[in-house]
Amino acid sequence: MFHLAEQRLREALTTLLKERYGVDIPVVIEQPKQSDLGELAAPVAFALARQLKKAPKVIAAEIVAALPPVPGIASLEVAGNGFLNARLDRGAYGALLLAAASQAPATLPGKTIVEHTNINPNKAAHIGHLRNSVLGDTFVRMLRASGRTVEVQNYIDNTGVQVADVVVGFHHLEKKSVDEVRALLAAPRFDYYCWDLYARTSAYYADHPEAIQWRRDALHAIEHGEGVIAELGHLIADAIVECHLTTMWRLGISYDVLPRESEILHLQFWATAFEQLKQRKAIYFVEEGKNKGCWVMAATHFRDSAGEDSGDDDAKVIVRSNGTVTYVGKDIAYQMWKFGILGKDFHYTPLRTYPDGHVAWVATADESEAVTNRPAFGGGTEVYNVIDSRQSYLQDVVVAGLRALGYEQQADHSIHFSYEMVALSPRTCVELDIPLSEEDKKKSYVEVSGRKGLGVKADDLIDKLIEKAQVEVDARHAEKPEAERKRVATQIAIGALRYFLLKFTRNTVIAFDLQEALSFEGETGPYIQYAAVRAGKILAKLVERGEQIPEFTEVLDAEKMARQLSSEPFWQLLLAASKSGSALNAALSSGEPAAMARYAFQLAQAFNTFYQDYPILPEKDPEKRTVLLWLAVFFQKQLHHTLQNVLGIPVPEYM
């Protein structure tokens, strides 16, 4: 609703500037720093001052005098050295919000593909993975809330080095048979078992460098689908994927389709891409030098700075001298598939049906198990890859590949949704008995290492949060049934975790601090949930007392709104609550889920202040009481939507 007012003012000013001064400049509308200056501000007079050779103040005054009334805007005034400040017509604004049914946004054309999670299926997920998934999932929700059609992909590298290492661990170190592994993976927390085994295998390599040959052999066997090793590889990877899906679902995160590396190999996606790359001369064969015998992409394609002199040595190897393709090569093929320009597709079979009925599909190379009655996958118009920022170089190469093939549009719509890693605060390392070197102790954060088995497992963290929330819930609501308390505690835990991972902007390294993450006070998820619960409680109490929630559209009108909303605190709360759409657009265009999280927090803050100062139920003045009730209802609706639909944070029944 708010952006409508912005838009109107912008258009009115643009028209006026054109007609009166003959200038066509973009009119910036912003919000004044202080609320008593109005709701909208336009610093246009400053921009015009030089052109018109007049003082900004004079220009602003002229504009105020000349601007015809703008619907929804009550007044326009000059402030400071030449700001144009506008005040909204509060009564009209309130009436508009009252009348507007919660309309779903219009569906936008095209399909947006968001790839996130992408965890190597060889061990339990840790907090770094959670940041990826929560960021990705929230961004997906933001896109959907704005009317976009989104497909969520979770790419599974089930034939890579990391899986091979765990296979080596089972086969060579533990000498376990397929059946023995099968028995293990049926037991709970197989991913934890692999977490330790992976660390042990890595340590073994360090002590026995010759054992690296096991890895090479395993990798080869897995890629070619040969023998016991390959069987183990599939068994382990599939089981771990199940673990990851279960972990993510605890946070409300689900997927539409899981493309797998093994299918990319078997269906020869790469071969198809390779032909295209060769034909279009996007890559070339190196005859001598460092990269002799490789197919490479010239550095000029993906590096602005690479000049004439950058030779073959700076190029990125796509096909190794032994004929195997690098990950980047496969990624180019995969990215082409995402846009529907590869000319090939996977077969698909259902992998999991979530409790809400949603089905996640998995790619298969086996036509016999393919299910044809299914959604269409791939073929997106824009693609977001949620991948940590350390891989930006490789993402650049992938995009350069598309460009070199002539797919300019697809290259432009390939977005590396990058984010920084999650490290551990030194304090938390001490708490978790993670050994710190002298060097580490001086740093503000310590990097986690999956290979060393150092880190915070996702499920452990979630469990810890639930446990802590449970203590709080039990203390406040001992009379409630246990199962219910457990559910509430879980919702609080999810809120705390998701908000914690979202409150940082993407390119900020999170120095994960356990105490901070476990906090339920201040700028946290539970704080926001609490505001929503409080609003709900007012309405519940009202009904409990035998009253009914009024039909606001019948008992309120613009005049009553105007009268009550002249009170600044009421107006400020309404204004804040009405900005959820603007906040979504802003967060979307900046690509920062953190902005949306922050909006929710600020809205909760506004409500908590209001809640403290204006008890609604005891209010004597009936008109005021009705408006306040409506405010609570409107606030609740907006916050619920922002929390549940956009941020994926549940709202508990009570707290």
Partner RNA sequence: GGGACCGUAGCUCAGCUGGAUAGAGCAUCUGCCUUCUAAGCAGAGGGUCGCAGGUUCGAGUCCUGCCGGUCCUACCA
State the nearest-atom distance from the C-beta of 372 to RNA, in Å: 30
Cβ-based nearer residue to RNA, 43 or 650: 43
Q: Which of 412, 407, 401, 406 is nearest to 283 (CA)?
A: 401
State the nearest-atom distance from the C-beta of 242 to RNA, in Å: 20
Q: Are 233 and 169 in contact (CB under 8 A)?
A: no
Cβ-based nearer residue to RNA, 24 or 179: 24
Residue with tokens 């044809």: 372
For residue 566, CA distances in Å to 1, 559, 632 come to 19, 11, 17
Q: Which residues contact 179 (CB under 8 A, 6 or more apart)?
A: none
Cβ-based nearer residue to RNA, 174 or 420: 420
Rounded to an integer, what is the distance from CA 495 to the centroid of its chain? 15
State the nearest-atom distance from the C-beta of 454 to RNA, in Å: 15
State the nearest-atom distance from the C-beta of 78 to RNA, in Å: 9
State the nearest-atom distance from the C-beta of 570 to RNA, in Å: 12
Cα–Cα distance for residue pair 218/122, rounded to 1 Å: 14
Q: What are the respective helix, strand and coil percentages of the chain, to the nearest 5? A: 55, 10, 30
State the nearest-atom distance from the C-beta of 471 to RNA, in Å: 9
State the nearest-atom distance from the C-beta of 125 to RNA, in Å: 15
Cβ-based nearer residue to RNA, 12 or 492: 492
Q: Give me the phi and psi of 454, to 5 degrees please.
A: -100, 125
Cβ-based nearer residue to RNA, 304 or 554: 304
State the nearest-atom distance from the C-beta of 322 to RNA, in Å: 6
Q: Strands 111-115, 149-153: parallel, antiparallel or unpaired by DSSP?
A: parallel
Residue with tokens 């999280």: 597
Q: How many H-runs (helices) and E-runs (strands) does the chain carry?
A: 27, 15
Cβ-based nearer residue to RNA, 316 or 498: 316
Cα–Cα distance for residue pair 398/411, rounded to 1 Å: 9
Cβ-based nearer residue to RNA, 350 or 615: 615
DSSP code of residue 317: E
Cβ-based nearer residue to RNA, 406 or 615: 615
Q: Which bin fits 591, alpha (ψ -120 to 50), beta or left (φ > 0)?
A: left
Q: Which bin fits 470, alpha (ψ -120 to 50), beta or left (φ > 0)?
A: alpha
Cβ-based nearer residue to RNA, 554 or 613: 613
